[in-house]
Amino acid sequence: MSDDKLPEGLEHLAREISREDLQRLAQQGLLKPSRPAPDGHTPVPRHPPLSPRSDELPPPDLALLERDKPAEVAYTGFGELQQLRFDLDLPAEEEGKEEEPKRRFRLRDIPTYITIGGLSLALVVERTYNQARRAKHDFDRLPVLVRALYYLAAALLSLALVGFVVGTQLTDLLDPKPDVPVLQEAIIAPYGVDGRALPPADYEPWQLLPETLGDFPRSPDVISATNTSSPANQCLLGLGYASDVLDPPTCTRSYGMVGTASARYLSGRMKVDVAIARFSNPQKAHGTMIELLTHARKYGRLGNFSVAGITETDYFFSNVRGWRSFTWSHGLWVFSISTVKMEVLDQAVEAFPY
C-alpha cells in the first residue's frame, strides 16, 4: 500500500507510528478511520475497544486508581498507556484467635535460674572489684601530703562517731531518764479516791456515813421516791420517783445490791446528798458503774471519767438536771455524792473518808 492510499483519518497517526506499521494494521482490519466531525476538522482518534480476550488486560478500575496505592505503568497492544495500581494491604488478623499459652514455671528450671542469678552476682562482684582496684590505683598516685590529709579526715570522722555512741551510753547510765508512764499510771483518780482505805469487810453501808461532811452536818432526812436526790443517786439506790414527777429519768440496773444507805447533809439552804451501795463482788460494782455512766450520758452531760477497767477505781463526773455529781467505785462499794455547786462538791468529796 502506497503512502497516498492510507485510509482517510489515519494520517495523524503517522507522526507517532511508522507508515509501514500503519499500512500493515490497516490491511489486517485492526484500524478503522474515525467519522469526520460536523465542522470539517479531523476528529481526535478513538482507540478501539478492548476485546474480551484472555490475553488482554481489563480496563482499569477508577475507584482503585483514586486510592493512594503503589502503581506501575503497562503498555497495551496498541501503544495505549494504562496505569495499574495494586492493593498491597496485608490480611487482617483473624478475630477471636486464641493467644498462645504462657510458659509456666517448672521445677527443672530451678537450676537454670540459680545459674543465671549466680552469674549475675559474679558479674556485679567482678565489676565492683575492678572499680575498687581502679580507685585504689588512682588514690595511690596522689601526692603523699594529700593522702595523709584524707587519712586524717577519715580518722577524725570515725572518732567522732565512736565518741557520740559512747557518750550517749554513759549519759544514760549516769543519769537515767524516767520511763514514760503507761495509761494506767498516767490516769490518776480525782481527790485521791484510789488511794483511800477500803471500808472494813464487816461494815454495813449505813456505818460508812459520817456525822459531818466538812461544814455540813448530817440531817435526819434520807433519799427516797418522795424525797428525791440527783438522778445518779436515785439510780444507784434503785429508787423510783413519785407519780407526780413529770418525765422522770428511767434507770436500768442489771446487778442487785447487798445493801444501800443514804444521807442528806445541810448547811443553811445548801444540801449535799450521799448514796452508798455494796455489791457481792467487784465485777458487779464495775458493771453498775457502766450502767450509771450510760444513764448520766442519756439524761445529762458527762465530765472526766474512767470506767473501762483501766484503773482499780472507776469514776465519772456528771451534770444531770441541775445536779452535779461525782460517782466512784472502790472494791465492793460504789459511792455517789451530789450537790448543785461544783465548789461544794469538791469540799464534800475531799471530806468523805472512803
Structure confidence at residue 87 (pLDDT): 44
Report how many domains make up the chain: 2
Cell digits for 71? Answer: 502503581
Residue 274: alpha-carbon gap to chain centroid: 52
Report if residue 67 sits inside a domain: yes
Report if residue 343 sits inside a domain: yes
- How does pLDDT run along the chain (354 residues), one tens digit per residue? 444 555 555 555 555 666 677 677 777 766 555 555 555 554 544 444 444 444 445 555 555 445 554 444 444 444 444 444 444 444 555 555 566 666 677 788 888 889 999 999 999 999 999 999 998 888 888 898 988 898 899 999 999 999 999 888 888 777 665 554 454 555 678 888 888 888 988 899 999 999 999 889 999 999 999 999 999 999 999 998 888 888 889 888 899 899 999 999 999 889 999 999 999 999 999 999 999 999 999 999 998 888 876 667 899 999 999 999 999 999 899 999 999 999 999 999 999 998
Report if residue 237 sits inside a domain: yes
CATH number of the domain that residue 335 is part of: 3.40.1000
Report if residue 174 sits inside a domain: no
Q: What is the pLDDT of residues 4-48, one digit of tens each?
A: 555 555 555 555 666 677 677 777 766 555 555 555 554 544 444
Q: What is the dihedral of CA 281, 282, 288, 290, to 10 degrees?
A: -150
**3 state SS of 182:** coil
Q: How many CB atoms are located within 10 Å of the residue 141 CB?
A: 8
Q: What is the pLDDT of residues 63-79, one digit of tens each?
A: 544 555 444 444 444 44
Structure confidence at residue 51 (pLDDT): 47
Q: Which of 16, 50, 85 is the last residue of a domain?
A: 85
pTM of the predicted protein model: 0.50
Cell digits for 70? Answer: 503503589
Report if residue 303 sits inside a domain: yes
Residue 71's domain spans which residues? 3-35+59-85
Report if residue 311 sits inside a domain: yes
Residues 6+ positions from 205 with CB-CB distance below 8 Å: 259, 260, 261, 276, 277, 278
